[in-house]
Chains A and B, each alone.
Chain A
């Protein structure tokens, strides 16, 4: 595993850039553990200072250092996106592959549940969720809710792959050989599906972080825990852009964009490692 990562880093530019960007964000997020101020404290520094040597990213109108606030915010946002992606991947892989492979009645039941989740309007539901939970609202809870709502599209995608894999000769051979259904799905089909899963993971994180930002900006989350969205919410509350405190919004947006680009590059370069055909296609005339 280490050798794979080392080779990817050495020979693949996309992976190198992606890894550096993601590491940069990760290191920055881990700085939150050594922050001199707790994230909720206000007026610990002089408010509304522009970026300077003392305060690299400036200070907010609430008297917080943007640098340290942002380290908490990016950490929470990253964990939030990861949590949603992992949880919803588990659901979509399980349902998609099972449904596609079993077919028939199982498929009909699972896909009608699936389609229900596709047509449910997410945003009003999440707002409603906030009003029900109110004070008990936290980002892990929101992540759980979004994971339960965000698997359906990808489950359909994975099911369509599983449907075609089921008809392939090597599946017939596996059945003939006496492999159990779970073995066929996990050993024979899962490697085929993983590249797609990698892509959808990225997509899903994009979606969940974006929706989290939207909810936070409107104040429909726990606004005491700093996330990228919550930072923008407070900046808005203090009319930062009108007051010319641009650094309060600029740095959160910049960092979340860097995170996206880094993860995206990682996802596509990993995919080429996992999928032997595209790996060889890149090698061009090397094999024969």
Chain B
């Protein structure tokens, strides 16, 4: 019963990713006790070519699990229970969960790259940056080694990075520098789709601006699509075209970033946005009572209802469907967007 009509999005532009009704649970079984953490529960979304899609939400709402599932970088206990993830590369559909290992490896880097959370640490500390490039990217660019290295150097130069970093060990670089090298590493094959999980979280705002600028530039140059995960609404406002807000493993609101921030419909989004400090605004920020639910035993009905100021009877019983409230704007809330 999820949002089939909302998936129409923008018919004119080419679709890059279709996620439908994705469910991914952490399933563990110890001493006869089975536990199931529903980190991603019925998420559907589409992303177009040349679009930056933002994912927002507080910690433990399932953002990272969602993107891990989307790029199939999962390992037990995380399992995909239901749903499908389908990429469209060069006019060809690839359902990522029906591909074999070899085909998957063939897609990665060339078409789909993933900047991991804590990505400053994706470079092996005991290997030089050049060796990391060779380890990770060489197999995906089918060229002889000298040509590959020249290619990498050109790519770094294009991103205004000194190719001399190739001779450094990661610990010799600053955090921002490492982050930039990581972005260069992820984009070296000019992928059609980049998934960036918290690429700027550990950086101070000045470096953050640089790194975001770099990401944006890379994306513009290759005309790739991108998912950008961060809990920082300010970053979303600056960078992303569309924004999806997650709460407790579900997408609660989605639309053009400006619209979601300016006229948020879901009470959770409204709280998230109102928590942003504004220059000149000296009023005390009000926090939201409570914390996100335990995803091993989520509350029935709308998962936000225990903290929601607008909660009604129906919220406690039934999960609200995603409803289109305006062009490209969908919300799952009984109170503000009744079907």
Please choose the segment from A62-70, A187-195, A224-232 that sits at the chain B interface, where 4 or more of its residues have CB less than 8 A away.
A187-195
Q: Decide if B116 is an interface residue (CB 8 Å cutoff).
A: yes
CB-based contact B116/A172 at 8 Å: yes
| Most A C-beta atoms less than 10 A away, residue of B109, B124, B137, B171 | B124
Interface string of B115-146 (1 = CB under 8 A from A): 01111011111110000100111011000000
Q: Decide if B108 is an interface residue (CB 8 Å cutoff).
A: yes
**What's the Cα separation between A191 and B125 when bound, in Å?**
10
**What's the Cα separation between A175 and B172 when bound, in Å?**
25
**Given contacts A169-B118, A188-B127, A275-B126, A176 and B135 within 8 Å (CB-CB):** no
Majority secondary structure, A binding face: helix
Instruction: Report the minimum CB–CB distance from B127 to chain A (whole Å).
Output: 7
**Number of B residues whose C-beta is below 8 Å from A?**
29
CB-based contact A276/B116 at 8 Å: no
> B104 to chain A: which residues have CB within 8 Å?
178
Q: Decide if B312 is an interface residue (CB 8 Å cutoff).
A: no
> B71 to chain A: which residues have CB within 8 Å?
176
CB-based contact B108/A176 at 8 Å: yes
Considering only residues 258-288 of chain A, those with a C-beta below 8 Å from chain B are 275-277, 280, 287
Partner of B135, one of A187, A192, A287: A187
**Given contacts A177-B137, A177-B139, A178-B105, A170 and B172 within 8 Å (CB-CB):** no
CB-based contact A280/B122 at 8 Å: no
> A173 to chain B: which residues have CB within 8 Å?
116, 122, 136
> B105 to chain A: which residues have CB within 8 Å?
177-178
| 6 pairs from A and B in contact (CB 8 Å cutoff) | A173-B136, A176-B71, A177-B135, A179-B139, A187-B135, A277-B126
Residues of B that sit less than 8 Å from A by CB: 71, 73, 75, 101, 104-105, 108-109, 114, 116-119, 121-127, 132, 135-137, 139-140, 169, 171-172
Residues of A that sit less than 8 Å from B by CB: 168-170, 172-179, 183, 187-188, 191-192, 275-277, 280, 287
Identify the 3 closest CB pairs spanning chains A and B, nearest first: A178-B105, A169-B121, A173-B122
